[in-house]
Structure formats: C-alpha cells, structure tokens
Amino acid sequence: MWRRGADSDGYVANFVETEQIIQVNGYTASFIQIRGSIPLFWDQIVDLTYKPKFEITRIAQVPQVVERHFLDLRKKYGNVLVVNLVNKHGGEGLLCEKFGSAMQHVASDNVRYLHFDFHKMCGDTEFAWLSILYHQIQTFVFRNRYFLLNEKGEKVEGQIGVVRTNCIDCLDRTNVTQSMIARKVLESQLRRLGVFKANETITRHSEFDKCYKILWANHGDDISIQYAGTPALKGDFVRLGKRTIQGIVKDSWSALVRYYLNNFYDGTKQDAIDLLQGHSIPSVSRSMTPSIKKDGVEAIVSFRLAFWLIMTGLFFATISLRRVRYNLWNLLFSIMWASMSFLITSLVRANGRAFCNRPRLSHPQQ
C-alpha cells in the first residue's frame, strides 16, 4: 500500500499491460488490456486497521496529472476506455467521486469513462452480472479491434484502442473483469479464423475452457503475489467459473496474510523495489542507513513487545479472576492486569502508524 495513485508526471502505481496471444492455422492474433491505479494523488497509509483510510492530497494539481496520464496512454495505445470498478459508497466513494469529476475534463471521443460498482452489482458470488458491464463496453472493444497477422506474417489488422481497468489495488476485481473481456475477444478471434462457428463459445469445449481459466487465474496470482504477497482473491471464479466454499475460505486466509504483510513487511519491501529501480539513490559518501530518524513514540515502540504484554496481562487477569473465590485480593490483581492490557491496546491503536513497517530510504526523484 506504499504506492498508490499517480506521480507528478502522470505515471501510476500498479500499472500492468497484459497481452493475450493466440496462434492458430498460421495466424497470430493478440489483444491488449491495461490496468493501473486511480490517477490522483492519494495515499492509504497502513495504521493497523484492516482498511486504512484513503487520503486525497494536492487537489489543485489533479487536472494536470490526469491530463498527462491519458495523454501518455493515447500516444501508446490510441483510444482509451476507462472502466472504474471501485465502490460508489463507503471508504472508496470519495475516490470514485474525485476520479469521475477529473475524467469530465479529459473525456472525449478518444477517452471515455465508465463506472461499474463491482461489489454492488456482483457481490462476492454473482459474477454473472458482469454481462451487464460487457454489454456497455462491447461496442468500444470491437470498434477498436485487435492485432492480427495472416499466414504470411502480414499485418491484417491493428488494435487502435485499449480498455483500462482499475479497482483500488488493481488485483482481484480487475483480474475477474479483464478475464471476462479477454474471453469475449478470444471467441471473436476464433470465429473469424474459422475455428469456431458463428455462435460457438469457449464453454462448449471443456478442456479448452479449463485451460483458459487456469491461464488467467495464474496470471492474476502472479501479479497479486508480486504486489500483495498472496494469490489473487476471487481466483476460484476465474479458475472454475464459480465461487466455492473452499475458495471463500482461501480468500479469507489470503486477506489475513495480506493484512499482516501490509502492516509489518511491505515498508522494507518497498525500499528494496525503490533501490533496485533507482528511485532511491544512497549517497556514496556515507553508509546506507535509513534516512528517516525514529523519534517520539516511534523510537520505543515494538509491536511484538506490545502484543506479548497484552497477552501476558490477559493471561494473569484470567488466572487471578479464577482465584477470586479463594482470595478477594485476586479481584484487584485481575483488574490491574486487565487494565494494563487495555492501556497498552489503547496506546497501540492511537499510534498505529508508528507500529507499522514503513519505507525508510529517501526518494530524491519524488
């Protein structure tokens, strides 16, 4: 979560270009989609809560950044259709509103914007409702075509536009949606090349359908593992075409693992990525020490120590409470130990950010 939104040049976090390529009967066809973070200045700083609050900053610079972002996409891909999958209400609602407002200033015949509230429409299991989304974008997808080479290697057709999909972290909802769009395009390509009949679909070929779902599920897992440390959520739908109890349990575990990694490991991971990519350049005249000095509460906090103190207090409070019938003094001891646990818990909650692992290296290019 240490990289959200866009930088001042309009480049966004979590940007991924996916090209689906098929070769059949001497022909080669491909279809490109992209995903990327909402191109605003926004943060979601981890603070031990399950879903940290969204913070939108530098509002005055948003129009220029959005314009730069889509100017770059237009140069690279041609026409752009933005499919925004975030919630319209709750914590994501403000981001959705600001993004929609910013898009009004850049929307044109070449840049279009569509909001689809994924969670409201599909929930956690009813992904068949994605057909509503596809109906809305179908005309754009086929007008902007795909890339095609004939048996002689000659270009028959080129893709002149791209669908840009995003949710909050561009992982789970985005992958489900992109796999649906890619499937529709692939079916169209196979019909054109004479492999499928007019109304034939991938689902009529069980082995092909199974392999295709696994391909996209693995693709989503690879991106998610790199960014969040776990396989993609909702992967059972992409892999099997339906939600399963096993998939829901697996998603719950992955969500807990993501929470742990977000709060206690990702800061150091972000430093490693920035260092390798040259975004953080340590001075050659001094050792590579953290550029952010710990002070105040942060200088003395330790989540592990706090956790064990809380658990120790609860343990002795329980033991003392069970001995109250033998000695009333144990009631006082139980209250004392419970109070200690409560006070430490309150300290941790009030200073959540200080207990989290954060990037430490300076970023002179930002």
Note the pLDDT tens digit of each residue in 223-237. Answer: 999 888 998 888 887
Note the pLDDT tens digit of each residue in 219-272. Answer: 999 999 988 899 888 888 788 878 888 888 998 999 999 988 988 888 888 888
Report how far residue 147's alpha carbon sits from residue 189's, in angstroms, rounded to the nearest whole number: 10
Contacts of residue 86, defined as CB under 8 A and 6 or more positions apart, other chains included, come to: 38, 92, 95, 96, 99, 115, 117, 118, 166, 167, 168
Identify whether the C-beta of residue 357 lies closer than 8 Å to the C-beta of residue 265: yes
Q: What's this model's pTM, rounded to 2 decimal places? A: 0.83
Indicate if the pLDDT at residue 138 is higher than 80: yes
Note the pLDDT tens digit of each residue in 271-301. Answer: 888 888 887 766 554 444 444 455 555 555 6
79-84 vs 161-166, strand pairing mode: parallel
Q: Per this entry, what is the length of the chain?
A: 366
Identify whether the C-beta of residue 198 lies closer than 8 Å to the C-beta of residue 204: no
- pLDDT at res. 314: 86
- pLDDT at res. 191: 95
